[in-house]
């Protein structure tokens, strides 16, 4: 397990009903195969040693003894393996018969988990043979030693005690309050389910819905393993529907009637961090009267990720066309409400011809359309100065014309030169005063025109700029409502592109030019050909990297080491390790140093799971030290 990832697998081997020796051999073969792949947690179906559809054969002592022999074979096969395995079998305890899951590791059976809820609503009628294990509390003699039998078992890794695995069996999961709820309250981060759910039309989709909801509510991983086609087909068929979930998201699933193998890597570190973040989760107290059996084992390895796809653009939707419209609607409706509440006549925006102001203008147009207001009440102001390039100036003019808003141009060069004289600044010194004087004057112009026009200044700055402090304090840092405040730069690009495709025509052509323009604050003079010389990503890092780091820092709570490890897998073909590390160190330095800007930002709408609002989402002192993060990052 590297960086708290657990490599899990659900396997439905081709079994024979009532043939434990054969089934044990197939299970052992699967164990051998999965060990070579680095599997740490391996789950087999319900009653996998006997077969689920044995019917009255479960009452035969010969079958029960054969299952114990088979269990001993499987346990011995794990002797030299770092793996936790769950197999299913019937277990007799005096006058009762239980449907059990055996937790196996290091050559021994750690415990037997008894099924609590028995289905009597289908053709198998488990209640005919088995007793509910809800109150089971026994010690069962096995071929080699003995094991506790209980419905409440937690297995933890000796070297990583925060990794807790629990188990429930098929019908347990379908009841209103399943055992997994209690398991998670007691600390289980992953729940396994040994199942024999038959295949019916629509059942697979319903099963997905239930598991997604269960893992989302309990913030856990879930490994579901269903019986395969080796079961009897007298009245039903089983399709080896296996799936692995993490906090509501499906990581992997097997193809029904396929090979019955499902593998994925569960991020336990993320699950634990998410539980700590959510106060509503912490408020669910564990039931004091339910005692658990705690079983130590050694199943965590140091293997690398081989299965998990690390998304290089975690903020950007993939294959979901409706997501762009939803985000636009969130932004536009929030702005529309603010305009209606303040009773202003219009909106004022600074239009630079870049991505952020373009998105803000598109959102404002949609807000005015929602309100039934004329777009002529939107005043877009371009304010060329020392760093304005021909391309962005042209983009700004064309965009405002295409969208039908009121366009104004105010050249601020002479005024800023006068300001330099007032403050005693040499205009040949291209320092921060030279740059920020332009940004602050632009903001003053916008605010004063908004007052003059009874309008509201719509902010254009985005989440990525706030995270890195790439904004001028009390310049573009300030507005009357910030529609892009929780939209990172990579998402800004996605939204503008989506809107370009939606609008088409001349507007699409203008937006395409904006998308192809280098990102720049344009505060330093262009070259002799009028091209941009000040490129943002050369100074603070590629936005695809800084957004990736921001997501893993704030949303998933990843350490610098884990973040770099994941970045190498996401960007390994594009950036070398030294480059990734350089911008990671830069990210931590900038993020901590620039909190003072974020602690006094205007209101802005939240569109996703990450926001930097000091009023709700990020409570952080401006003078917090980044030394601990830098110590780890610089030492990587």
Spatial CB neighbours of 455, under 8 Å, sequence gap ≥ 6: 344, 345, 346, 347, 348, 377, 379, 449
CA–CA separation, 342 vs 323, rounded Å? 29
Backbone angles phi, psi at 396, to 5 degrees: -60, -45
Catalytic residue, chosen from 7, 26, 81, 115, is 115
CA-to-CA separations, 73 to 68, 69, 70, 100, 262, in angstroms, rounded: 9, 7, 5, 17, 24
3-state helix, strand, coil in the chain (%, to 5): 40, 15, 40
CA–CA separation, 531 vs 109, rounded Å? 71
Q: Three-state SS across 337-383?
A: HHHHHHCCCEEEEECCCCHHHHHHHHHHHHHHHHHCCCHHHEEEEEC
Q: Is 170 an annotated catalytic residue? A: yes
Spatial CB neighbours of 465, under 8 Å, sequence gap ≥ 6: 356, 471, 489
Q: What is residue 50's DSSP assignment? A: T
CA–CA separation, 178 vs 176, rounded Å? 6
CA-to-CA separations, 136 to 26, 84, 340, 391, in angstroms, rounded: 30, 23, 63, 75
Please, which residues bridge with residue 130 across strands?
A: none
Closest Cα to residue 524, out of 438, 421, 458, 462? 438
Q: Is 265 an annotated catalytic residue? A: no
CA–CA separation, 555 vs 270, rounded Å? 9
Catalytic residue, chosen from 34, 35, 40, 46, is 46
CA–CA separation, 42 vs 46, rounded Å? 13
Closest Cα to residue 349, out of 320, 327, 378? 378
Closest Cα to residue 464, out of 579, 557, 587, 559? 587
**SS3 state at 574:** coil
Catalytic residue, chosen from 39, 67, 170, 220, is 170
The Cα angle at residue 574 between residues 570 and 580, in degrees rounded to 5 = 70
Q: Three-state SS across 303-336?
A: CCCCCCCCCCCCCCCCCCHHHHHHHHHHHHHHHH
CA–CA separation, 393 vs 405, rounded Å? 16
CA–CA separation, 78 vs 89, rounded Å? 17
CA–CA separation, 307 vs 625, rounded Å? 36
Residue 281 CB neighbour total at 10 angstroms: 15
CA-to-CA separations, 436 to 128, 415, 506, 598, in angstroms, rounded: 80, 14, 34, 17
Q: Is 46 an annotated catalytic residue? A: yes
CA–CA separation, 324 vs 332, rounded Å? 12
Q: Which residues are catalytic?
A: 46, 115, 170
């Amino acid at each position: 397990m590297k960086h708290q990832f657990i490599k899990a697998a659900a396997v439905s081997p081709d079994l024979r009903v009532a043939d434990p020796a054969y089934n044990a051999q197939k299970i052992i073969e699967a164990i051998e195969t999965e060990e070579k792949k680095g599997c740490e947690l391996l789950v087999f179906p319900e009653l996998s040693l006997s077969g689920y559809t044995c019917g009255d054969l479960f009452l035969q002592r010969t079958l029960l003894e054969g299952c114990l022999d088979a269990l001993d074979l499987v346990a011995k096969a794990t002797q030299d393996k770092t793996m936790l395995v769950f197999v299913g079998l019937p277990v007799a305890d005096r006058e009762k018969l239980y449907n059990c899951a055996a937790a196996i590791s290091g050559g021994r059976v750690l415990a037997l988990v008894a099924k609590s809820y028995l289905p009597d609503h289908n053709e198998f009628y488990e209640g005919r043979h088995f007793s509910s294990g809800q109150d089971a509390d026994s010690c069962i003699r096995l071929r080699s030693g003995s094991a506790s039998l209980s419905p409440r078992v937690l297995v933890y890794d000796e070297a990583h005690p925060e990794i807790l695995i629990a188990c429930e069996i098929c019908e347990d999961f379908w009841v209103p309050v399943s055992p997994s709820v209690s398991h998670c309250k007691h600390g289980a981060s992953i729940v396994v389910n040994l199942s024999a759910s038959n295949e019916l039309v629509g059942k697979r989709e319903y099963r997905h819905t239930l598991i997604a909801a269960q893992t989302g509510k309990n913030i856990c991983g879930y490994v579901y393993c269903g019986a395969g086609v080796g079961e009897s087909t007298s009245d039903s068929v089983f399709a080896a529907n296996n799936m692995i979930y993490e906090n509501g998201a499906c990581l992997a699933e097997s193809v029904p009637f396929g090979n019955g193998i499902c593998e994925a890597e569960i991020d336990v570190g993320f699950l634990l961090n998410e539980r700590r973040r959510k106060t509503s989760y912490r408020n669910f107290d564990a039931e004091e009267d339910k005692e658990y059996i705690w079983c130590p084992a050694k199943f965590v390895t140091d293997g690398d990720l081989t299965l998990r796809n690390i998304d290089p653009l975690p903020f950007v939707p993939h294959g979901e066309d409706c997501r762009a419209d939803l985000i636009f609607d969130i932004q536009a409706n929030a702005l529309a409400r603010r305009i209606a509440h303040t009773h202003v006549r219009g909106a004022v925006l600074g239009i630079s011809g870049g991505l952020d102001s373009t998105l803000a203008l598109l959102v404002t147009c949609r807000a005015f359309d929602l309100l039934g207001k004329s777009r002529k009440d939107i005043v877009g102001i371009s304010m060329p100065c020392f760093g304005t390039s021909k391309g962005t100036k042209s983009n700004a003019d064309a965009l405002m014309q295409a969208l039908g808003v009121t366009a104004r141009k105010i050249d601020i060069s002479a005024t800023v030169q006068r300001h330099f004289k007032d403050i005693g600044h040499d205009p040949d010194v291209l320092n921060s005063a030279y740059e920020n004087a332009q940004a602050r004057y632009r903001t003053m112009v916008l605010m004063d025109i908004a007052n003059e026009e009874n309008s509201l200044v719509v902010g254009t700055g985005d989440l990525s700029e706030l995270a890195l402090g790439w904004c001028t304090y009390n310049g573009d840092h300030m507005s009357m409502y910030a529609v892009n405040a929780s939209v990172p730069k990579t998402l800004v690009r996605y939204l503008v592109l989506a809107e370009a495709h939606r609008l088409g025509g001349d507007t699409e052509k203008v937006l395409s030019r904006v998308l192809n323009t280098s990102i720049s604050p344009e505060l330093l003079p262009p070259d002799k050909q009028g091209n941009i010389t000040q490129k943002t990503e050369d100074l603070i890092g590629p936005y695809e990297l800084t957004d990736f780091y921001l997501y893993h820092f704030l949303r998933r709570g990843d350490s610098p080491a884990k973040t770099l490890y994941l970045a190498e897998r996401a960007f390994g073909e594009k950036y070398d390790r030294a480059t990734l590390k350089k911008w990671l160190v830069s990210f931590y330095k900038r993020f901590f140093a620039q909190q003072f800007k974020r602690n006094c930002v205007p209101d802005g709408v939240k569109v996703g799971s990450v926001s930097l609002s000091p009023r709700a989402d990020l409570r952080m002192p401006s003078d917090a030290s980044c030394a601990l993060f830098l110590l780890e990052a610089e030492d990587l």
